[in-house]
Structure 1
Amino acid sequence: MNKKIAVITGAGSGLGASLAKKYAEDQYHVCLLGRTEEKLERTAHNLPNEDYSIFKVDVSSKQEVSNVFKQIKENLGVVDILVNNAGVGMFDLAENLSEDAVHQMIDINLKGTIFCTQEVLSDMKERNGGSILNIVSTAGLEGKMTESVYCASKFGMRGFHESLQAELKDTDIHVFGAYMGGMKTEFWDGIFDAAQTAGLMDPEDIADIIYHNAKVRKNLNVEQVVIKNH
């Protein structure tokens, strides 16, 4: 296959699903990665064409991530765009967060980003091209009440992202960071009620901004965008 390939983690809902649609419309073969197959199928059902693949994966598992990226390379080809979007958040005062909540946020948000990125770097370096989009969130820019560990995971992601930019500065590999506030997605189910989510941003709008800013253009480079709620 000589198709351009975009891999999107956390593609089962929200921003991941919206970005999948954008890249599908741009004639990419879209690889939808996530933990829940039913959600990935739902995303696929809303794509403008049938040029996609679904991969069930837990990004916090180095082994699972390696297996999936190996399948993608063998069956489809090298990855042109990686969108590190998978993320999870549990919010409470620092002393109330369970051990499991701490592990999940660090493992999925931070380690998941690292593991997926590691899988594409050597091929991207070999052909001196490709894009890595890190969906960080404004929680990677400032500490927030009841978000201590979520912010810690996102500050870590930002540190990885900025170090990656430094490592790849002399290449044509594009490393792009998106720092956005709360979006109206399933992420907030069980956390916010309808009144609280009413003022949140639309993931379609965010996807539009990220997609257009992350595009590789001649003689310019958008390194990051910060998108905040009114």
Structure 2
Amino acid sequence: MDAQVVVITGAGSGLGASLAKKYYGLGYYVCLLGRTRTKLLKIAKSFDDRYAIYEVDVSSKSNVSKVMQAIKQEVGQIDVFINNAGVGDFDSAEHISEQAIHQMIDINLKGTIFCTQEVVKDMKKRDQGCIINIISLSGKRGKINESVYSASKFGARGFIESLALELEQTKVKVFGAYMGNMKTELWDGAKAEESYMDPDDVADIIIENTIERKNIVVEEIIIKNNKYKYI
């Protein structure tokens, strides 16, 4: 295959969908991954070709392994992998349910680990590739009513920072994106403010900062809403 391959988890909506469309526009072969096939099909409607859809539960290591093997066999080697799948349940610490706790840790943290384990092996063998991790500002600092969500994101941050050190002597790049609230489904349960960021703008910033450039490596970026630019 001539086109480079990008694989995006949580591609059915929000930032994942924006990234899928942007990468498709750049000529990539786009693999859209998510739990709901109908959502993925809706995003792919604007694509003529160069795409594939895979249903995946990132919290299941066996399911992740099965899907990644299918991509490798049916599409080819993965050049860019984006850990974007995530869930949030926002409430005071004592009120977050056990089910919500398991879901956030399983998807936000374990999902990032399981997916990365599957793709990094081949990237190391080929000594090339890029793993982009969508983490959130909640992985940089704690927030009210986001205790467990923040814990899952702090965990993901620790994982990818350690991974970057492991890959320091290779040409495999690891990138972390830490952004504030966006106009996505994640915040439907909260009062979505008009000032929330547009995921298309955030996608542009992420892609621009992960383009390969001579003698430059961008390890992470922080994207804040201008309402909170001095925080």
- Is TM > 0.5 for Structure 1 vs Structure 2? yes
Match of 1:223 in 2: 219
Q: CA deviation at 1:214?
A: 1.0
The aligned runs of 1:76-95 (5 Å cut-off) are: 76-95=75-94
Number of equivalenced pairs: 226
1:174–1:216 contact (8 Å) kept in structure 2: no
CA-based RMSD: 0.9
**SS of equivalent to 1:82:** strand
Q: CA deviation at 1:126?
A: 0.7
Match of 1:150 in 2: 149
Match of 1:28 in 2: 28
Match of 2:112 in 1: 113
Match of 2:14 in 1: 14
Q: Which amino acid aligns with 2:122?
A: D
CA distance in 2, matches of 1:216, 1:113: 23
Structure 2 runs not aligned, ≥5 long: 227-231
Q: Which amino acid aligns with 1:88?
A: V
Does residue 197 of structure 2 align to residue 198 of structure 1?
no
CA distance in 1, matches of 2:167, 2:67: 24
Q: Which amino acid aligns with 1:7?
A: V
CA distance in 2, matches of 1:147, 1:168: 31
**SS of equivalent to 1:197:** coil
The aligned runs of 1:132-211 (5 Å cut-off) are: 132-192=131-191, 196-211=192-207
Q: CA deviation at 1:215?
A: 1.2
Match of 2:229 in 1: none
Match of 1:122 in 2: 121
**Alignment deviations for residues 98-155 of structure 1 (CA, whole Å, 9 cap, x no partner):** 0000000000000001111011111101110000000011000000000000000000
**SS of equivalent to 2:222:** strand
Q: Which amino acid aligns with 2:203?
A: A
CA distance in 1, matches of 2:193, 2:57: 27
Taking structure 1 as the reference length, the TM-score comes to: 0.96
Q: Which amino acid aligns with 2:70?
A: Q
**SS of equivalent to 1:139:** helix
CA distance in 1, matches of 2:4, 2:31: 11
CA distance in 1, matches of 2:81, 2:148: 25
**SS of equivalent to 1:187:** helix
Q: Which amino acid aligns with 1:216?
A: E
Q: Which amino acid aligns with 2:190?
A: I
CA distance in 1, matches of 2:69, 2:175: 24
**SS of equivalent to 1:54:** strand
**SS of equivalent to 2:22:** helix
How many percent identity over aligned positions? 60
1:10–1:87 contact (8 Å) kept in structure 2: yes
CA distance in 2, matches of 1:159, 1:109: 12
CA distance in 2, matches of 1:2, 1:51: 11
Structure 1 runs not aligned, ≥5 long: none
**Alignment deviations for residues 72-114 of structure 1 (CA, whole Å, 9 cap, x no partner):** 0011111100000000000000000000000000000000011
Match of 1:46 in 2: 46
CA distance in 2, matches of 1:123, 1:116: 12
CA distance in 2, matches of 1:197, 1:39: 24
